[in-house]
Amino acid sequence: MTRVLLTGNAAAAWGARLADVDYVPAFPITPQTEIIETLANWSTNGVIPARVVTLESEHSMLTAAAAAAATGVRVFTATSSQGLLYGIEMVYAAPGWRVPLVLVNVSRGLASPITLESDHNDLLATRDAGFLTLVCATVQEVLDSVLIAYRVAEDDRVRLPAIVNLDGFILSFTREPVVLPSHEDARRFLPPYDARLLGFRASQPIAQAVAVLGGSSYSYFRYQIHLAELQALSVLDEVEAEFATVFGRRYGPIETYQTDDAEIVFFMMGALATKAKAAVDRLREAGERVGLVRLRLLRPFPVQAIRRALAGKGAVAVIDQNVSMGKGGVLHAELASALYGAAGAPPILASYIGGLGGRDIQAAEFYEIAREVKRAATRGVTPEPRLLYTEAELRQIKELQAIALAERQEIEAGT
């Protein structure tokens, strides 16, 4: 066990290395590229035995990944944003193949407009597919989650692919101190892959991913995926208990921070939750009873853990780094469906959207949100959903628009 400084991307690559992955189908995309470059270099130099193959697209990459997993090897792959969407057909297909591969997604906002920086709309496009989904907030968690994801995904009660998510730039390119597990410990925690019934063999022909006729057969197999996902809740619990025994760190489906006596709670996922923690500290110093629940396990959705953590709270401010166009924050809707009718459900569930495409969420915004939901709890009136945007930002975009307009006028004037 050694401590090193790693970027989020390097931690993901280390996770794959310590998991003794056999096969890495790859395709470059910012901000994920460092992961596959690292693995490709390790493979070339004989540091890892894994075979790294660059496909011509993420759609092919994910097809190769799922096909290789269906043949019986341990598979790792990574992508971001547009790449994830380009491969989305296979994201939806792979769970039905029941292949326990691990896909790291480095979150990045989706076009249009095209951008490089982070939000969660890319990840949320996979929400209903049947991948187990762990959303990380620290570099250490990225590495650990890759190992944990394999254990849960490969468990006989689950047998589904998994996504480990980290935020582009703010986590992918940030160096943090990481406790690097020894290979021995990693192997103790994650034994060699047992493909079980998967595999194409001359002596044991198998027809995989075949068509079904009629809704009855179709429903049966779709329900199987859903039920297997739900079983992953208790499996994750077991696996993380074992992880804690070996490595001394434990995560859980949600992370709670200062929630025990909290009246109001921030609810969010991803690396910006660490800023919410800092805001909680400041607010507590000012005498406010504020806490944070960070969603780590997006799928399966940990309904019971969330209900327990939020029972009796006065108000929850859900901060979504995504927009479901025409509806609003996705986590807000997810949380509402989990809490509605539950004993002790907070009466106020307010929605805030921020942090899109790499936009920061400032400490002052957390304070303002806390102020607003506290007032809402007192009055018993839920505030309207808010799109976080400051006056300074509005001035700045007006300036950019003025420049764009001036440019066009110049062209039209032929000057």
Partner 1 sequence: MSTPITSMKDLPSTHLLGTGTSLCAGCGGLLSLHQAYDLLGARTVFVNAAGCMTLLATYPFTPFRSSWLYTTMASAPAGAQGIRDALDILIAKGQLSPEEDLTAVVLTGDGAAYGMGLAATSAAIDRGLDFLYLCYDNEGYGNTGQQYSPATPHGALTATSRGSRGYPGYKKDLFAIWVANRPTYVATVVGAEPLDLAKKVERARSLKGPRLILALAPCPTGWDFNPQDAVEIGRLAVRTGVWPLKEYIDGRVVHTRIPHPRLPVEEYLRLQGRFRHLFEPERNEPLIQEIQRHVDAYWAEVES
272 binds partner 1 (CB under 8 A): no
Instruction: Pick one of 174, 208, 224, 258: the residue that binds partner 1 (CB under 8 A).
Output: 208
325 binds partner 1 (CB under 8 A): no
Q: What's the token pair of residue 312?
A: 């009796």
Per-position DSSP letters for 138-174, written without gaps between them = SHHHHHHHHHHHHHHHHSTTT---EEEEEETTTTTT-
Residue 16, helix vs strand vs coil: helix
Smallest distance, Å, CB 323 to partner 1? Answer: 29
Smallest distance, Å, CB 87 to partner 1? Answer: 9
- In angstroms, the CA 247 to CA 220 distance is 39
Nearer to partner 1, 83 or 355 (CB): 83
Closest by alpha carbon to 120, among 255, 257, 265, 298?
298
Contact segment (CB under 8 A) with partner 1 among 103-111, 154-162, 208-216, 340-348 equals 208-216
116 binds partner 1 (CB under 8 A): no
Instruction: Pick one of 114, 212, 397, 404: the residue that binds partner 1 (CB under 8 A).
Output: 212
Could you tell me if 334 and 303 are in contact, meaning their C-beta atoms sit under 8 angstroms apart?
no
252 binds partner 1 (CB under 8 A): no
Instruction: Pick one of 217, 378, 390, 409: the residue that binds partner 1 (CB under 8 A).
Output: 217
Smallest distance, Å, CB 199 to partner 1? Answer: 8
Closest by alpha carbon to 385, among 354, 345, 347?
354
16 binds partner 1 (CB under 8 A): no
225 binds partner 1 (CB under 8 A): no
Tell me the site size for partner 1, rule CB under 8 A: 39
Nearer to partner 1, 65 or 330 (CB): 65
Nearer to partner 1, 84 or 142 (CB): 84
Q: What's the token pair of residue 5?
A: 């400084």
- In angstroms, the CA 355 to CA 321 distance is 5
Nearer to partner 1, 59 or 299 (CB): 59
In this structure, the number of other CB atoms found within 10 A of the CB of residue 96 comes to 17
Contact segment (CB under 8 A) with partner 1 among 147-155, 194-202, 227-235, 306-314 equals 194-202
Smallest distance, Å, CB 71 to partner 1? Answer: 3
Nearer to partner 1, 59 or 277 (CB): 59
Residue 352, helix vs strand vs coil: strand
Nearer to partner 1, 211 or 400 (CB): 211
Residues 51-90, one symbol each (x = binds partner 1 by CB under 8 A, - = not), give x-x-xxx-xxx-xxxxxxxxxxx---------------xx
Amino acid at 292: L
142 binds partner 1 (CB under 8 A): no
- CA angle (120 as vertex; 254, 66 as ends), nearest 5: 85
- In angstroms, the CA 64 to CA 205 distance is 19
Could you tell me if 320 and 353 are in contact, meaning their C-beta atoms sit under 8 angstroms apart?
yes
- In angstroms, the CA 102 to CA 147 distance is 9
303 binds partner 1 (CB under 8 A): no
216 binds partner 1 (CB under 8 A): no
Smallest distance, Å, CB 142 to partner 1? Answer: 25
Q: Tell me how far the alpha carbon of residue 98 is from its chain's centroid.
A: 20
Taking CA atoms, 14 is separated from 4, 115, 152, 159, 170, in Å, by 11, 27, 18, 23, 18
- In angstroms, the CA 414 to CA 392 distance is 33
Nearer to partner 1, 69 or 148 (CB): 69
Binding site for partner 1 (CB under 8 A): 22-23, 25, 51, 53, 55-57, 59-61, 63-73, 89-90, 93, 200-203, 205-213, 217
